Structure 1
Amino acid sequence: MKTNLKTETFTCPSCIKKIEGNLSKRAGVEVAKVLFNSSKVKVEHDESKITADEIRNVVENLGYEVHTVKSS
């Protein structure tokens, strides 16, 4: 499954490593990519191991506001 999150504007490149690193450690996350300029987080994951809501919670618990979540 692919999940895309639109977040608040990122203020520094270290945000990328922080989010990608934390998501990559989660069971079921195959690919985690942060698009700095467009404030998006793209995640490919196994829905049976981690849901879109859980991905949203990871990002929000790191201190970033998530505006929208779309899964396909």
Structure 2
Amino acid sequence: MEKTLNVQGMTCGHCKMSVEGALNKLDGVAAAEVNLDAGNVDITFDESKVNVDAMKEAIEDQGYDVSA
């Protein structure tokens, strides 16, 4: 399944790596790609292993705000 989340506060390569890294650590996330210009992240995941709330929490734990 694919989902795009809007993430506020990402401005640089470090932000990109933080968000992608946090998401890729979650079991069930196959891919995470941040688009800094658009302010979002595209996530490919297995919905039987991980849910959107867990992904939002992983991003928020890095210090960013998420709006679906």
TM-score (norm 2): 0.91
Shift of 1:19: 0.9
Consecutive unaligned residues of structure 1, counting only runs of 5 or more, are: none
1:11 pairs with 2:11:
yes
User: What percentage of aligned pairs have identical amino acids?
Assistant: 34
Residue 33 of structure 2 aligns to a residue whose secondary structure is strand
Partner residue, 1:24: 24
Residue 5 of structure 1 aligns to a residue whose secondary structure is strand
Residue 57 of structure 1 aligns to a residue whose secondary structure is helix
After TM superposition, the structure 1 = structure 2 runs for residues 51-62 of structure 1, keeping only pairs within 5 Å, are 51-62=51-62
User: What RMSD over aligned residues (CA atoms) do the two structures have, in Å?
Assistant: 1.0
Consecutive unaligned residues of structure 2, counting only runs of 5 or more, are: none
Q: Structure 1: which amino acid aligns with 2:15?
A: C
Shift of 1:26: 1.1
Give aligned pairs, total. Answer: 68
